[in-house]
Amino acid sequence: MGLTTGCRLAYVAGLILAVMGILGAHGGSLTQAPAVSLLKIPVAGSRRKPPVKFSHRVHEARRVACTQCHHDFQGRRNVWQEGQPVAKCQTCHGLRPEARRLDLKNAYHRQCKGCHLRLRQQGRQAGPIECQACHRPT
Ligand code: HEC
Ligand code: HEC
Ligand code: HEC
Ligand code: HEC
């Protein structure tokens, strides 16, 4: 290759720094809500439903508080507050249920459909509960 060992070492070090830079830019936890997220559980085996588009904007416009969805429990108390970094749901909710933590799919369904259903029962405007309204094939 014609590279001296020193050159090669410098090249490798540069590559590592570049990769760390990329991870640094995307790997840290965020505090600001993205407008729209594509929710996609890394299911074992093949997916049964198309992934779900979730709009922070729609929910913010409807005055749904951040703490309705984001939490960090100490005992029974949610100590997470707006402005603090947000951990992804899958950080705590795995593919299998664990202790009092629901598995990821049920965590999403309980939270998303749960609220939509509650609001409907109260006769208020709510999001969908039909499968294909959330799992939209594109
Ligand atoms: C109706 C539910 C809901 C509400 C209300 C909500 N969020 Fe989220 N938020 C989510 C979901 C679901 C995700 C995606 C989580 C994931 O990918 O694991 C998310 C992701 C995020 C992320 C990105 C996390 C990451 O690393 O990708 C941030 C930051 C965030 N929300 C902040 C906020 C803030 C601030 C508010 C209030 C202004 C808010 N959210 C309100 C459901 C909600
Ligand atoms: C820091 C860890 C952590 C993160 C991140 C987290 N959860 Fe949880 N979640 C828990 C724990 C622990 C419980 C059990 C609380 C209890 O009942 O003691 C729980 C309970 C729940 C419940 C049942 C109780 C309730 O509030 O209705 C739902 C639904 C839920 N989580 C959905 C989600 C969703 C959706 C996300 C991502 C937007 C998320 N969780 C992010 C730890 C977490
Ligand atoms: C605390 C209550 C609450 C929670 C939790 C919640 N929603 Fe909603 N959702 C609403 C309300 C209110 C609307 C607005 C209804 C309207 O304006 O017609 C809505 C609207 C929607 C819509 C229709 C508008 C659009 O963006 O296309 C979708 C889809 C949706 N929600 C998906 C989700 C998903 C996915 C989650 C879980 C990550 C979730 N929602 C969690 C209350 C909630
Ligand atoms: C309010 C929105 C909403 C509704 C309604 C909804 N889901 Fe989901 N569902 C989600 C979210 C969010 C996830 C996690 C993201 C993903 O992987 O698609 C999920 C995940 C899943 C998964 C695991 C991922 C996969 O494709 O294997 C299955 C299976 C599923 N849902 C089936 C259903 C069925 C069946 C219905 C109707 C009875 C339904 N969902 C209704 C929001 C919804």
Ligand whose nearest atom lies closest to the CA of 127: 3
Same domain, 37 and 75: yes
pLDDT digits (tens, 9 = 90+) for 23-71: 334 446 789 999 999 999 988 889 999 999 999 999 999 999 999 999 9
Nearest atom in ligand 1 to 31's CA: 29
Residues whose CB is less than 8 angstroms from the CB of residue 74 and which lie 6 or more positions away in sequence, other chains included:
none
| CA 70–ligand 1 middle distance (angstroms) | 7
pLDDT beyond 90 at 106: yes
Nearest CA to ligand 4 atom 41: 131
Tally of structural domains, the chain:
2
Q: Give the residue numbers spanning the domain of 79.
A: 31-134
Same domain, 74 and 108: yes
∠ at Cα 34 (93, 72), nearest 5°? 35
User: What's the confidence (pLDDT) of residue 138?
Assistant: 78
d(CA 101, CA 26): 27
Same domain, 90 and 40: yes
| CA 17–ligand 2 middle distance (angstroms) | 35
